[in-house]
Amino acid sequence: MNKHPNTDDFFATVAEKSHGAALRGDYTHADAEYVVKQDWHAYTLEQHALWRRLYQRQADLVPGRACDEFLKGMAKLDAADGIPDLTQASEILFAATGWRLVAVPGLVPELTFFTHLAHRRFPVTVWLREPEEFDYIVEPDVFHDFFGHVPLLLDPVFSDYLQRYGQAGLKALKLDGLDYLARLYWYTIEFGLIQTPAGLRAYGAGILSSGGEIEYCLHSRLPRRIALRVERVMRTLYKIDTYQETYFVIPNFQQLFNATEPDFTPIYARLKALAVLPADTLLPDEVNLSLQQPVAGP
């Protein structure tokens, strides 16, 4: 597409949510779907070196902390040497699960995001953080998007779940359900934990791309770890500027897929009559799972 999007409303919404902060990406060349060209040759030697530092730190951390599906996808993508070419990575993805990557300037509107996911396209930001942001970044950059999210797109069940999430998002736009769906995304795709035969592991991209939370979520005794129930997750607020106070745990990706298969329309209707729950809530019928306690499967 050659038509450029009208970004005025989108930027106004972002400013409203972030006390007037502006998005950092260059949106001037985005098409109507907010897709841009990844000018891979424009990345500097210093940026590739920073990528390698970020990658090596996480590569040292994820064994024994990330789920096997992530580790297998990470090995297949083999992006240790520098910022990846999204077109080349797309070829690997498409051959495995039918997904493609699309380059975007940064955050995109909800409708655009859901539309991409519903069509098995994952948006990846093209810019990389600065060296002084090595440990923390406000907006997702190419390292977060690629390292954190893309390896699991090689898993058939998880990639189907992500497409279903996109389809649910398109429907939620018409049902006043975006807040509920945002919480589901946060607590699964960004900060989800999974119980494996080898123990508790991370699968959420926000954890897997973090130098500190990947250890905290698995071994700290401070946060709650609760078996995932979709309606419970959709009621639960979350923090964006601290480590999570609660993590929701699944026994396997098939359970996550099955739990999100039903139509969310009646769920949204029920939730509108219920109060939201603080991030550190433990309900009377819930168990704060010990670090060794298994999670029941479907």
- For the annotated catalytic residues, the residue numbers are 144, 149, 190, 209
Q: How far apart are the first and last CA of the chain?
A: 44
- CA 203, CA 193: separation in Å to the nearest integer? 6
CA distances from 135 to 53, 69, 167, 209 (A): 11, 25, 33, 10
- CA 102, CA 67: separation in Å to the nearest integer? 25
Tokens of 125: 């930001």
Q: Is 124 within 8 Å of 150 (Cβ atoms)?
A: yes
Pairing of strands 246-250, 224-227: parallel
